[in-house]
Structure 1
């Protein structure tokens, strides 16, 4: 899920492959070394990751007693998570404080449109599927266009099929599985006014996430670093009351603290 860089400024990603299969001591050493090298870590991983991986990450973070490791699990399909991780790698080359960079992940999620064309929705449980769509998925040759984020949508692919897309200029990334279809390139991309179309290998987690290997996953996103930087820096920053890092939004991704509730004001006569 580590996508290739879009420009020479995009920082490389460190893939924590096999973290749950290696000895705990080795995992602790690996993350401790990375933290010491870079100062802060933002670990981006999908909600559908195995419980063993999630437990190992939280265990290692607890053993290191570190508020310099942020665990971020955005509610996005696999390709969307890969795109978001690359956007954070782009922004990591800028003069953003660690807390602001980590908080930017939640902000940028709102500007990502992620979905797929599926050969069957019989096992799709990430998006609401009607009984009618379930029945049609058993018909030979049926294909469905599904948007998982930001708002779930599902339509049967046909001449009039359409998905509500972004209202701003974006690029479109596609990843092909075991499905033959040109709907994304001939219909979706023009309808969404995509400013660029690129292809990448399908993430390994995608078939399990979508419930089928017969799919073409797609994701629209903001590719320009200057636009991403302007978007993030236009949001008001504040200091986390617990760890002191500058953040945007209502929660610190590093220490998970939220602003304390405001004390009720006393009324005086």
Structure 2
């Protein structure tokens, strides 16, 4: 069985990209499930799949994060990877689906878990907003704050891979700098009535089509307003995702022994230290 990819709410479990993409396992928050039930569910996933990878938003409420770590601690399992990522909710959903796609490939659980940080850099996640006055996940200038108070103002904000902000209304509307590689656009509409994302942003970014989905429940809190249109442009072709992950050198974690790519193990969080690089840095005798 492929490594299980779990999400922290049902609205982050996007429909499969194709018939080969496994479904996501959906975990429950502490308010909806007892600790004993959470332990039983994760234990069942481990028994069925061997390893479980859980990408979640870094802004996930502290009680939920504490529950995840408590369950892993009680199970005394080094086969559960808890991966906080600095992405808004729709971006987390897209990342989880990419990991689900890759879980059926020839990657080991360690490579799959550590690939989350790599893939997150290729997800262009943002939103169209009527105001940025309370937005605290993306840097906002004083000028933008002041402009937010003007009637009819709307903004396009990019949270990842690098913060951007553009005013999309007025005499000289701006535009966000988009990806330089082929992507598809996922759009989730809140209470903001606008087609700017699909009629202006999508053509400017030359996306290979767009799909609409339901707005995640946590999006309004993340973006500090329910009046928004959230979007995420990402690679959806499995062959491209596979080449991207395969192109990175694989190493062995010196702590838990699993394979990894990048500079940190996805399961034990131990940083990778290249022994050859350490030798080169030693001063000459």
SS at match of 1:86: helix
1:196 is matched with 209
| Post-superposition offset of 1:142 | 1.4
| Structure 1 unaligned residues grouped into runs of 5+ | none
1:5 is matched with 16
Deviations 1:195-217 (A, max 9, x none): 11111000101000000000000
* Correspondence 1:5-154 to 2 at 5 A: 5-19=16-30, 21-154=32-165
> How many matched pairs?
268
2:7 is matched with none
In structure 2, C-alpha distance between the alignment counterparts of 1:161 and 1:167, rounded to whole Å = 18
| Post-superposition offset of 1:155 | 1.3
SS at match of 1:45: strand
In structure 1, C-alpha distance between the alignment counterparts of 2:13 and 2:47, rounded to whole Å = 22
1:160 is matched with 173
Alignment match of 1:226 (pick from 235, 239, 249): 239
In structure 1, C-alpha distance between the alignment counterparts of 2:250 and 2:17, rounded to whole Å = 27
In structure 2, C-alpha distance between the alignment counterparts of 1:44 and 1:151, rounded to whole Å = 19
Alignment match of 1:240 (pick from 216, 232, 253): 253
| Post-superposition offset of 1:241 | 1.0
Higher relative contact order (CA 8 A, sep 6+): 1
User: Are positions 1:267 and 2:284 aligned together?
Assistant: yes
In structure 2, C-alpha distance between the alignment counterparts of 1:257 and 1:132, rounded to whole Å = 41
| Structure 2 unaligned residues grouped into runs of 5+ | 1-11
1:254 is matched with 267
Q: What TM-score do you get using the length of structure 2 for normalisation?
A: 0.90
Which deviates the most, 148-157 or 85-94?
148-157
| Post-superposition offset of 1:23 | 2.3
Q: What TM-score do you get using the length of structure 1 for normalisation?
A: 0.95
RMSD between superposed Cα atoms in Å: 1.4
| Post-superposition offset of 1:141 | 1.8
| Post-superposition offset of 1:156 | 1.0
8 A Cα contact 1:20 1:52, kept in partner: no
